[in-house]
Amino acid sequence: MAGPTNALAPSQREALRARLNAAIPAWYRPWVHLAFPSLVGLGVIACALALLHPLTVWQLLTVPAAFVVLNAGEWRIHRDALHRRTPGLTVLYDRHTPEHHMVFLTDDMAIHSSREFRLVLIPFYGILAAFFAALPIPAVLIALGHFNVAMLFMATTMAYVVSYEWLHLSYHLPTGSFIGRLRLIAFLRRHHATHHDPRLMQRWNFNVTVPLWDWVRRSIYRETGRKDEPANESAGATAG
């Protein structure tokens, strides 16, 4: 079941924002929320790289291959779990579409304070969930005698999750901040901000990191027509 496609009235949006902020526990520490997955992810990456044996060229190809698979997975999860109610995954939908997307709109993406990290970042334990979800793949690779490939896959997976968190948060920082002014961030923020138009979010610009799979699946919104009637809608309709 798809989510809402209409923006809330300004007063309703501010009321929702106030309610969500009021629900943040007193013990919440935004910088700990950011630091925990970052340190866990970087720690796993360091351990995986430290365990590598001498590498061959074909083994190094694991990194771009894993990146493509992860980018496709990001696109699919974003489209199917975050924007559609899926049995067993409704908590992901509830935090994303009716909350995150209703608070942050295309022309108003910035958080008001660091406490709103909670409205942008995945739960702190998400990095652990990603680690254990990915673990069967390197386990099989090790069993087949491909230890280096397994370590590179795990390192790439953790790097992808950490970069997703950092990039997504950077798009929701004030545009005048040091990070918000960076040219690369500004470019990627435009792609993500377009996705935050309620009329477009169910169909366009699902990649948060690098819009590779959006390009492959032809789901990059081209602003050639009205936003409520995208010119390349027929292409997006085939991206299922």
Asked whether residue 236 carries a pLDDT value surpassing 50, the answer given is no
Asked whether residue 198 carries a pLDDT value surpassing 60, the answer given is yes
Asked whether residue 217 carries a pLDDT value surpassing 70, the answer given is yes
Over residues 200-208, mean pLDDT: 96
pLDDT given for residue 10 in this prediction: 86
What pTM was estimated for this model as a whole?
0.89
Name the residue with higher pLDDT: 239 or 3.
Answer: 3
Over residues 147-172, mean pLDDT: 98
Asked whether residue 68 carries a pLDDT value surpassing 80, the answer given is yes
Asked whether residue 96 carries a pLDDT value surpassing 70, the answer given is yes
Over residues 4-31, mean pLDDT: 90
Query: What is each CA distance from 162 to 63, 121, 128, 131, 159, in whole angstroms?
Result: 15, 11, 11, 11, 5
Asked whether residue 235 carries a pLDDT value surpassing 70, the answer given is no
Name the residue with higher pLDDT: 235 or 129.
Answer: 129
Over residues 81-103, mean pLDDT: 88
pLDDT given for residue 234 in this prediction: 35
Asked whether residue 233 carries a pLDDT value surpassing 50, the answer given is no
pLDDT given for residue 229 in this prediction: 45
Tens of pLDDT, residues 20-51:
999 999 999 999 999 999 999 999 999 999 99
C-beta of residue 212 within 8 angstroms of C-beta of residue 192: no
Which percentage of the chain shows pLDDT scores above 90? 83
Over residues 102-108, mean pLDDT: 95
Domain definitions of the chain by residue range: 10-20+32-237
Which percentage of the chain shows pLDDT scores above 70? 90
